[in-house]
Amino acid sequence: MCDTVVALPPATRSKSVLFAKSADCEVNEANAIVPIPRAKHVKGEAVRITHLVIPQAEETYELFLTKAFWTYGCEIGVNEYGLAMGEEAVFTTEMPEENDGIIGPDLMRLGLERAKTCKEAIEVMTALLEQYGQGGGAELKGNSHFDSSFLMSDTSEAYILETAGRKWAVRKVEETASISNMLGIRADWTRCSLPAG
């Protein structure tokens, strides 16, 4: 099991944001702690993520992350603006496994690279999710496919973003929250991709 947890200032003695993650990586799947500098990119430039090539942002922010050696994305990361995020595998019936898409760790890194706040990250990540979908092998060994759940915080608030294929739901965190390897948002979502009604 993987777990990510956040506690916001009302729930912490130091009145600061606490954010942590545990990961159940495969044996011999090296995870490096990697600093990635801020960068400017040429308009029209592309970036190769784990299974796709997509348009690059004109600017990407400085990151400090933990990533598997074979993926573009990460298990946990924080950017220069204090936006922190953790990702967990969740299993649904929505993903078309025959198609390559953006795997959860890649989607998380793209959010961290392109957003300063949770709200911006949600916009970036849900737009990419709706455009490219999720898919492709998401584990070093075998051909495992899964959707993802994300917990993110910035310097003032936190959100949970859960995905199923190209569908998604968001819930704002009040004081504390955690995610694991199962969906947890029910009727208490703040926003979702499904039409009202």
Q: How far is Cα 146 from Cα 153, in angstroms, rounded to an integer?
A: 23
Inter-residue long-range contacts of 98-101, CB under 8 Å, 24+ positions, other chains counted = 98/135, 99/133, 99/135, 99/136, 100/51, 100/52, 100/135, 100/136, 101/51, 101/52, 101/132, 101/133, 101/134, 101/135, 101/136
2 close to 88: Cβ distance less than 8 angstroms: yes
**Catalytic choice (2, 25, 74, 192):** 2
For residue 112, report the phi and psi dihedrals to the nearest 5 degrees. -65, -35
* 2 noted as active-site residue: yes
- Of the candidates 183, 146, 152, 153, the one whose C-alpha atom is nearest the C-alpha of residue 168 is 183
Please state the separation of Cα 142 from the chain's center in Å.
22
CA 163 → CA 75, 89, 104, 156, 171, distances in Å?
Answer: 16, 10, 9, 24, 12
Place of tokens 């300063």: 116
Known catalytic residues are: 2
